[in-house]
Structure 1
């Protein structure tokens, strides 16, 4: 049994379940704030800003290791490939999809696409193990996605916006699934640190090649504030919370909480001057909560 399979298949103790669900909800709340923030940086040099963001996040994670007296775990062999996959899909391409996507579609469209991740995370790990996906867990994931659609609505978009939304969906799922083979040995902090510095290096090269070596000088104060928020809250904090949750309760259960993303995105939109959520948002929030409850209950009953 591989480390990834062991993580997915092992039973979850009640204490771990409570801790894991709390961490997953908090982590996805942090990620949800990125949708609204990304709408403020569509005119900034994308690769350069994201490189700065991930460099700051890597520094924060490195300092965390030092302050806690822990050594940075060193990847071995194919672990480097899995970490590179996490970095490329979940960090580099995902953020390009989100930032470019909100230039073609309302944040709602991107948020709804990301909220469909629970379905993939409920089904794919079981298929990898050549097992039938837990039916009620999959149903709970579908309910979460339906609630997310109610929260965000369909929104304005064009063909490019739909394409970016689907790309964001695939990359968000890859962010979790590609980490499973290395999460048990490297731990949440190790996976987060290595994937983040890889993303910073790759984006710096892309930034210099496409935007020029002086692109960092084009970042204004609002860009810097956005980069700092993305680095601290959406990257360093959210990554540690999310990978700890996946390690505690598994990808399928943790995936249910991606339904928190569009809710947080809607709240973030209000904070940045948007409209107050209407009745459908509150209805969708209730549906998301019901889907999460159903999925978690099903997982406990079926030993998923």
Structure 2
């Protein structure tokens, strides 16, 4: 992807400015889908680092991602906006919920539940991203988005399947669900001024600090010396593809589409993970995966229909931003 294809992350691109055209909406969909394919690739990589000190490796990952973002800024001339006032709190929320607590929920959750249970929790994110802004603004959510979110969630559940769990596993799955939704919703108030680049960079370096503290406390400062070449290559992939590229694509898409419509594209993650399993592991998806993929596609067709009034969508997004801003004051 060239720099011309990806919008400058520091340039305002709210629905009122960038997604009012059919081309802007289409680009938003493409960016969101591409970002979720990047996230789906983490499944294959994660299988190679199960024995590594997790929090230490995540610290390396986010530190590398922060450095990569700075390199991109230097090469392209993009500015790194400095947060102001309450923006620091929103960014800390993105880093804490969407990155630190999310990873803790996944790691601790798989000790009590099969991975499919955690996957199903993530699959329910489109519903939260569609409903929460509507509740915050006291408006009715777009019917197509709600129906599409329900269908996408059902399709993602079919792809992931169900698994065994205990009470703690259910709790961790709910934590993962809330944190994954928070990753997007907490970024909405600061995206207009900081842009995809600013939100990505500041949330990533904050997550680096948080993961470093947890890693030193639980795994010890010497844990970094136990990382081998495979671990470091995995960290580099997670930093470059799953963090740097995916974050820029995703936050750009959220600015173009709004959180509700962009959230529908999270259903691409399990589908991408299943598809990547064919060339990487020789695992051909079964009938339920194919059925789930078709259902996800149907949900996207339903939910991504162009709304009858673009102004309504823009007004709702603006109301949501003002509502969450007041909540943080």
Match of 2:174 in 1: 166
**Separation in structure 2 between the aligned mates of residue 269 and residue 112 of structure 1, nearest angstrom:** 18
After TM superposition, the score normalised by the length of structure 1 is 0.92
Residue among 91, 98, 116 paired with 1:108: 116
CA contact (8 A) 1:108 1:262 kept: no
1:149 aligns with 2:154: no
CA contact (8 A) 1:140 1:256 kept: yes
Would you say how many aligned residue pairs link Structure 1 and Structure 2? 298
Is the alpha carbon distance of 1:256 and 1:40 closer, same or farther for their aligned partners in structure 2, counting shifts above 3 Å? same
Alpha-carbon deviation of 1:34? 2.2
**Separation in structure 2 between the aligned mates of residue 302 and residue 157 of structure 1, nearest angstrom:** 44
Residue among 74, 96, 101 paired with 1:88: 96
3-state SS in 1 of match to 2:50 = coil
Alpha-carbon deviation of 1:108? 2.5
**Separation in structure 1 between the aligned mates of residue 291 and residue 25 of structure 2, nearest angstrom:** 26
Alpha-carbon deviation of 1:249? 1.0
CA contact (8 A) 1:28 1:257 kept: yes
CA contact (8 A) 1:123 1:138 kept: yes
1:224 aligns with 2:232: yes
Residues 235-278 of structure 1 show CA distances to partners (whole Å, capped at 9, x for unaligned) of: 00000000000011111110000000111222344455373211
CA contact (8 A) 1:47 1:204 kept: yes
1:120 aligns with 2:116: no
Between 1:95-104 and 1:140-149, the stretch displaced more is 95-104
Match of 1:3 in 2: none
**Separation in structure 2 between the aligned mates of residue 287 and residue 272 of structure 1, nearest angstrom:** 24
CA contact (8 A) 1:38 1:98 kept: no
Alpha-carbon deviation of 1:124? 0.9
3-state SS in 2 of match to 1:180 = coil
Gaps of 5+ in 2: 1-12, 314-329
Alpha-carbon deviation of 1:99? 3.0
1:197 aligns with 2:193: no
CA contact (8 A) 1:35 1:111 kept: no
Match of 1:78 in 2: 86
1:184 aligns with 2:181: no
3-state SS in 2 of match to 1:267 = helix
Residue among 206, 209, 212 paired with 2:217: 209
Match of 2:20 in 1: 12
Between 1:41-50 and 1:248-257, the stretch displaced more is 41-50
Is the alpha carbon distance of 1:224 and 1:157 closer, same or farther for their aligned partners in structure 2, counting shifts above 3 Å? farther
Match of 2:307 in 1: 300
Residue among 270, 291, 301 paired with 2:299: 291
**Separation in structure 1 between the aligned mates of residue 166 and residue 179 of structure 2, nearest angstrom:** 20
Residues 62-118 of structure 1 show CA distances to partners (whole Å, capped at 9, x for unaligned) of: 111111112210000000000000000111111222233334434332222111111
Is the alpha carbon distance of 1:192 and 1:254 closer, same or farther for their aligned partners in structure 2, counting shifts above 3 Å? same
Alpha-carbon deviation of 1:221? 2.5
Residues 167-223 of structure 1 show CA distances to partners (whole Å, capped at 9, x for unaligned) of: 111111000000000001000011000000011111112211221111101112322
CA contact (8 A) 1:98 1:168 kept: yes
**Separation in structure 1 between the aligned mates of residue 15 and residue 108 of structure 2, nearest angstrom:** 34
1:66 aligns with 2:74: yes
3-state SS in 2 of match to 1:76 = coil
**Separation in structure 2 between the aligned mates of residue 166 and residue 272 of structure 1, nearest angstrom:** 30
Match of 2:245 in 1: 237
After TM superposition, the score normalised by the length of structure 2 is 0.85
Give runs of ≥4 in structure 1 deviating > 6 Å.
Answer: 8-11
CA-atom RMSD in angstroms: 2.0
Gaps of 5+ in 1: 1-5
